Each structure stands twice: as structure tokens, then as C-alpha cells.
Amino acid sequence: MAFLEISNLHLNMHTFDGSAKVLNGIDLAVEHGEIWGLVGESGCGKSLTGLSISRLIASPPGEYTQGSIRLNGEDVLRVSERRMRELRGRRVGMIFQDPTTNLNPAFTVGEQMVDVALHAGSIDDDILGMPASASFDKRREAARKLAVKMLDMVGIADAAKRVDHYPHQFSGGMRQRVLIAMALICQPELLIADEPTTALDVSVQAQILRLIYDLVEEYNLAVLFITHNLGVVAQLCSHIAVMYAGNIVESGTAEAVFAQPAHPYTQALLQAIPMSHMRRGELRALPGAVPDLLAPPPGCRLAPRCPHVLPRCSARFPDSIAVSPVHRVTCVLADPGER
Amino acid sequence: MLTIDNLTKTYPLAGGGLFRAAGAFTALKGVNLNIAKGESFGVVGESGSGKTTLTRCILGLERITAGRIVFDGVDLASLTSAQMRDMHSRIQIVFQDPYASLNPRMTVRNIVAEPMQIHRSKLGFDARQQTARVHELLGMVGMGPHYASRYPHEFSGGQRQRIGIARALASNPELLILDEPTSALDVSVQAQVLNLLQTLQDKLNLTYLFISHDLGVIRYVCDRVALIYRGELVEEGDTSQIFDNPQQPYTKMLLSSMPEPDPARSPLRRRGQALTGTETNH
């Protein structure tokens, strides 16, 4: 069993207008050392998938109707809240898009990191190297040392001094490094990064991608990297899962999927990115808009927009088909028996 | 068509006292640009580079510190505010955030017709002609006339950006400033908007000043490109020349940071072998 295994996850969101099927049978397995790029456009459910792993979707309005999310075999949807608090941070670290709003402006980054380290240290003695019964001053001193060490690890120069600085004294890229350090302070095995570079300039983005890549190589982390940017996935990720309207429509190793995208939606996404060889007018846009999840189309949810649509696409939801051992696609076109 | 000559813009810094200024921050420093009629000119820069200050100076929203901005033979600094308002019928802008740039309490008809109201003396449309023109403009951006009576919140980001483009075109401008027009949009919607902008340019013979931090978009859309860094022009030239044969270290660094959707061109992977999932038991 993979370290993170999401199987057949269905999430409904109850709204005033009815119940929206926002996740419609997600299957995903992530191992240590793998960086999975979860891509899709706004509203496809990629962030909800990430938040579900830390069980951060409020219920209500959210309701998991089917499926499981297993971390090392333990179903996070069914554990107690107390156990969940141990898992968050300890096994799963998260970083988010906007590094400014995720740090408290009234406290130094050191104080904020020490809080996290003390919490983690109360769960696991190894983190601070002393039992939870040790004196508070000793534990806080150890937590502070750890904070400096983590800041140093994510490439913040002069960490011993910077630990006493406030968030506004850091640039956007540096703040994201602080948040990565904070997420890694409890030595998680899975890092969920939700659009961590979207608010950053490309040159800073390149530095953060390198940092994440190096951390994976060094600590054998599993990473779920949520983004809408296929370019970033191609740069960083070992694997990719493409989402559309609550489904993973294609997944596999980055090499396989980028070399031979098999799902019409993946193909459309790649053709919509301006590339160096494209001449004026060669950019292909997928017509139409994403479906209303309160009343999704029957069968394949892409069918109304799909350039290769067949009558049977609307009849039932397509099966997930392995086009190669490292590449799966959810489309009738990929099924030789159906063609 | 648009000549920017040695443009400098400084902002006074806070602090100082009654008789002593605290110094100044230079947002743009001696920028020279020449934009020809009918071309798409791209300005690339990272946050804080002065891209937005440049557009604000061209639109006359900032008083420039030194230098000249000449549009079609007219020095924009020499215009009175009434003349500048007339000039705005010829220079229009599409903003980055389609959620913030449309008044939520106005119908689409009134949003798109507003420039025709402001420039009524020049365009001379009565109310009925304005409505007809709104319908024509909505058609040009791929939206039906029945949308005219709706409000902005009823539209998606891509549709809102189309409304923003229709409004910018309402006064028959010659120069359209596009300030990050697609950075708030998803890729497939971005492709729709970029294609629309190119179709409109061909049909209406528009000149585009395209501001963006997205090098891929700039490369696809623009004939010529200028890079600015901390208020200074770093490099300028034909798009193919800049992208294929960059001269300045900053340009090279920026281009190498550009994430291309091709795993084989990843600098991370090139360095070591590709990551392969290794199973470990914890």
C-alpha cells in the first residue's frame, strides 16, 4: 500500500442551491520520494483534494459520501479529532499560495515557528530531543534552535538573526521559505503545497521549486504539488494527475503524460499554453466553460466541450484505463475495446 | 505612434521634515521606448519593476518627473486635463483583475457605454445609438446582446475580461494598454482571450502595449519586447531576437526561469537523474 492512498473519494458540498458533487471518485496513490503535480483549472477540486488529506473541509457544508484517504494505512476520514491533530503537522505539512496572509504579522517568524515546534514536540519526543515532561524553558530553547536550523535549511542566510525578524521584513519568496521551514519543522512525510509559487515572480519561483526538489531528494518526502501551471509540473514533478470538474482524468509519470497526453482535456490544456514554436493564431482554446457542479452533465463531465465526443460518452462515466504501466486515463477513446 | 523619451518618475519618500525632504524613490529611470502603429509591444518585468508606473504615466495618471511621452506627435505633458480626457478616447486600458475593474452596480450595457458618455462630444452617440454600439461591441468580443442587461457578478472571469475589452474598445481607441489582461485567468480561458485580442487587432488595426510577467504569453503575442528591471530598461528588441539570443544577464536569468511544459527541459531534472518513487517503510 502506498504511503498516501486516496480511493474513490466522493465529496459533496451542500449549498443553498443544492448539493454540488465537487469530488467525484478521486483515486491517487503517492509514495515517498514522489512529487505529484495535481493540475487543473479553477474549481476542478484540486485544492479540495489537498485540504481533504488534512481533513480541513468543514462538515457541513462538506460531506464525504464514499471513499477513503489512507495515510500509512490509517483512514484520516475516520480517525478522532485528537488523532487528526497529531497527524496534521506531524505526518502532513501544508504550504499555501499566499505567503503574506499565512504568517501572523504581529509575531516574529521565530515565535511562530517555536509554537509549531512545541506542539509537535508534545506529540513526539524526537522532535525536540527531550520528553514532554522536560522543563518549558528547556523545551522552548530546543524549539528555537530547531527553528534556526530549519530556516538555515531552507536557504535563509543569517538564520540566527533572521529568526527574530517579523514577516514584513521578508520578501515574498523568503516568506514562502519561512512557511516551508514551518511546515517541515515536525518532519512530516507528506508535504502538500497548494499553489505555493503562484504569487511569486518567475525567478523566485524557480528558487522555490529547486528548494522543494532538493528537500525531496534529501529527506525522501512525498509531495502533492497543487497548481494550475503545467510548466511548473513539467519542471518539478515526477508524476502528474490532471483534474477536471471533480475527477482525475489522466495520471502517470510526468514523462509519459507530457510525451503522449491521452485525454482530450490534457491535450487541450497543453495546446492552450503559448509555446515557442507557435505562430500567430495557433493557440487552441477549448470552447465553452466548466460545467455547473450542481447539475453536472451525465457520463463524462468533459463531453459537452470535448472535440472527440462520441454518443456513448454521455451514457455513462468512462472507466480508468491503463495505457501503459505508468499512465492511466479516464476516457473511452483510450479503450481499444470500446473504439 | 507612441514615443517615450528618457522618462523618469520619482516618488518622494515618507519622512523628512518641513524644510527637508526625505529623498526620493526612483520608479522609472531614463526609459526610452518607441511603439509603432499596428504592432504589439510587450513590456516584461517582475513585481516592483515599474511596469504599472509606466502605464500610469502614459495614461496621465501620474505627473512625470522628467522626460517626454509623445503620442501621435502630441506631448502628453503639455495637455490640459480636458485635453487629456479627450486623449483617453484614443488610449484605452484593459486591467488585470476582471473582478475588481467592473462596477458591480452597473449593468453591462452601462459599463460598456460609459466611455461613450464621457466622450459624447467626440463620438456623438445618442442613447439608442449607444445601445446599438454596445450590442455591436459585445458581438465583437463573442458575447450575445442579451448579456447587456446583466450585472458583472453573473459572469465568469473570462467573460468579465471580454466585457472589459468591449468597454476599452467603446471609444474607438488606437492604442490599447493591456495590463496583465490574462494573469487572473485559467490557461484555457487565457487562450480564448489571447485569440480574441489578436482577432480584434487584425480587424481594428489596433496598437497594443502588452504588460505582463508571463514570458510565454509575451512571446506568443508580441512583435517586440522590452524588459525592465528596477525601473530601468534592460533590453529591447524583436521578440525572436530577445528569446533566442538574449544579450543581458538579467534577460538570460529570466528566460531560464521560465517554466516550459516539457519535462525534458527542466533544469532540476537535468542536474540529477529524474526522481523515481522509492518505497520506504516508516
Question: Read out DSSP for A236-273?
Answer: H-SEEEEEETTEEEEEEEHHHHHHS--SHHHHHHHHTS
Cα radius of gyration rounded to whole Å, chain A: 21
- B208-228: pLDDT as tens digits: 999 998 899 999 999 999 999
Pairwise CA distance, residues B32 & B25, whole Å? 19
Question: By CA distance, what is B49's nearest residue in A?
Answer: A201
What's the alpha-carbon Rg for chain B, to the nearest Å? Answer: 21
Nearest CB among A236, A238, A271 relative to B277 is that of: A238
A79-91: average pLDDT: 87
- Alpha helix ranges (H) inside chain A: 46-53, 81-90, 109-123, 125-128, 136-153, 159-162, 172-184, 202-219, 230-236, 254-259, 264-271
CB-based contact A31 B267, cutoff 8 Å: no
Q: A275 to chain B nearest CA, in Å?
A: 6
**3-state SS assignment for residue A5:** strand
Strand ranges across the sheet with B207-212: B91-94, B175-179, B207-212, B40-44, B224-229, B232-238
Cross-chain Cβ contact A281/B263 below 8 Å: no
Structure confidence by residue, pLDDT tens digits, A142-198: 999 999 999 998 888 899 999 999 999 998 888 999 999 999 888 899 999 999 988
List C-alpha distances in Å: A137 to A112, A120, A141, A179.
Answer: 16, 16, 6, 24
Suggest the residue from A97, A202, A265, A279 to mutate for an interface test with chain B (most B CBs closer than 10 A).
Answer: A202
Residues of B in contact with A266 (CB under 8 A): none
pLDDT at B270: 58
User: pTM of the full predicted structure?
Assistant: 0.87
Q: Which of B202, B227, B266 to mutate to test the interface with A (most CBs of A within 10 A)?
A: B266
pLDDT class of A133 with cuts at 50, 70, 90: confident
A71, closest residue in chain B (CA to CA): B282
Residues 206-225 of B with CB under 8 A from A: 213, 215-217, 219-221
pLDDT of A298 > 80? The answer is: yes
What's the rounded Cα separation, in Å, for the pair B262 and A235?
A: 7
pLDDT, tens digit, 9 for 90 and up, residues B95-151 = 888 888 999 999 999 999 999 999 988 888 899 999 999 999 999 998 889 999 999
Strand partners, A190: A92, A222
Contacts of A3 in chain B (CB under 8 A): 282
Query: Are the C-beta atoms of B181 and B13 separated by less than 8 Å?
Result: no
Rounded Cα gap, residues A208 and A204, in angstroms: 6
Contact A285 B268 (CB under 8 A): no
Residue in chain B closest to A91 (alpha carbons) equals B282
What is the distance between the alpha carbons of residues A263 and A269, in angstroms, rounded to a whole number? 10
Name the 3-class secondary structure at A318.
coil
ipTM reported for the complex, 2 dp: 0.81
Pairwise CA distance, residues A272 & B185, whole Å: 12
Give B23's pLDDT tier (boundaries 50, 70, 90): confident
More confident residue, A279 or A23: A23
Q: Is the pLDDT of residue B269 over 80?
A: no
Cα–Cα dist A5/A77, whole Å: 12
Give the chain A residue whose CA is nearest to the CA of B48.
Answer: A201
Residue of B nearest to A275 (CA): B216
| Spatial separation of the C-alpha atoms in residues B205 and B175, rounded to whole Å | 9
